[in-house]
A = this chain, B = another copy of it.
Amino acid sequence: MSKIQLRCKIWLEKDGEVVLSDWRVELLEAIDRLGSLRAAAAELQVPYRTAWKKLQETESRLGERLVDAEPGGAEGGRSRLTAAGRAWVRRYRDTVEDIPAKLENRFAETSLEVT
């Protein structure tokens, strides 16, 4: 007997195209934390090319640079979020916050009344 599960998907879109989602925000956070898009891609277990494409897409749809690389070294410097990148990540996190957990709880709490 398999379980019935509540699912919830939240995202930002513009002209019907995804701008930010859990996954894209995780990518931005990983870039900032690890200082590199390549390391972020590895952590999220996607090809570098995929991560790069998603980042380009997100920046182009928002019309803002979200990630900056500091100059330095042969392979370029540390990558980090721009002020705009940081603001979008915060806005997304502040919006979504506890909603998935709240939905799960409500769904679990109502189960007794049904059966």
- Which A positions have Cβ atoms within 8 angstroms of B? 2-15, 19, 62, 84, 87-88, 90-91, 94-97, 99, 102-103, 106-107, 110-111, 113-114
Q: Which of B7, B14, B103 contacts A3 (CB 8 A)?
A: B14
Q: Please, how many angstroms separate the alpha-carbon atoms of A8 and B3 in the complex?
A: 23
Query: Which has the most chain B C-beta neighbours within 10 Å: A14, A19, A95, A107?
Result: A95
Residue of B nearest to A108 (CB): B95
Identical copies in the complex: 2
A111 to chain B, nearest CB (A): 8
Q: A14: which B residues are within 8 A, CB to CB?
A: 2-5
Given the known A-B contacts A94-B110, A99-B99, A103-B99, are A10 and B8 also in contact in the complex, defined by CB atoms under 8 Å? Answer: yes
27 contacts between A and B (CB under 8 A): A2-B14, A2-B15, A3-B14, A4-B14, A4-B19, A5-B12, A5-B14, A6-B11, A7-B10, A7-B12, A7-B13, A8-B8, A8-B9, A8-B10, A87-B113, A88-B114, A90-B113, A91-B107, A91-B110, A91-B111, A91-B114, A94-B106, A96-B103, A97-B106, A99-B99, A99-B102, A99-B103
